[in-house]
Amino acid sequence: MKINTNNPLKNYSDLRLYTKESAVVSAGTAKNRNFDAITIHSDPRQIEEHTFSSMLAREVMQETSVSASEEQLSDLKQQIFSGNYHIDAEAIARKMLLV
């Protein structure tokens, strides 16, 4: 049986140095070579949809953050206690659809 004294980690570190040096040499000659290039762009339609949806979200947040006045709340309470309060489904639908 023969024991080899070569260190595999040493060979790996030599290989890394060699590839770094060869990369520097090949970078200088890169102008002479023909390479493919990839350019990635976002689809303008996706950008437009994103900005439109964020604009709608801001508008909805502004409309929903407005609270009812004390006068409206007291009128609503009086209508409920007196039994005169009726739900207007069309008004609710208009609010939901932002019409």
Q: What is the pLDDT of residues 5-50, one digit of tens each?
A: 665 555 555 555 555 555 555 555 556 677 788 877 777 788 888 8
Helix (H, G, I), strand (E, B) or coil at 30: helix
Other beta carbons within 10 angstroms of residue 93's beta carbon come to: 10
Give me the residue spans of the domains in the chain: 75-99
* Average pLDDT value for residue range 59-64: 83
What pLDDT is attached to residue 48?
Answer: 84
How far apart are alpha carbons 15 and 76 in whole angstroms?
A: 81
Q: Is the pTM of this model over 0.75?
A: no
Task: Compute the mean pLDDT over every residue in the chain, rounded to the nearest whole number.
Answer: 76
Contacting residues for 99 by C-beta, under 8 A, at least 6 apart: 93
Residues 57/63, Cβ–Cβ less than 8 Å: no
Task: Quote the tokens at residue 92.
Answer: 């609710």
How far apart are alpha carbons 13 and 6 in whole angstroms?
A: 13
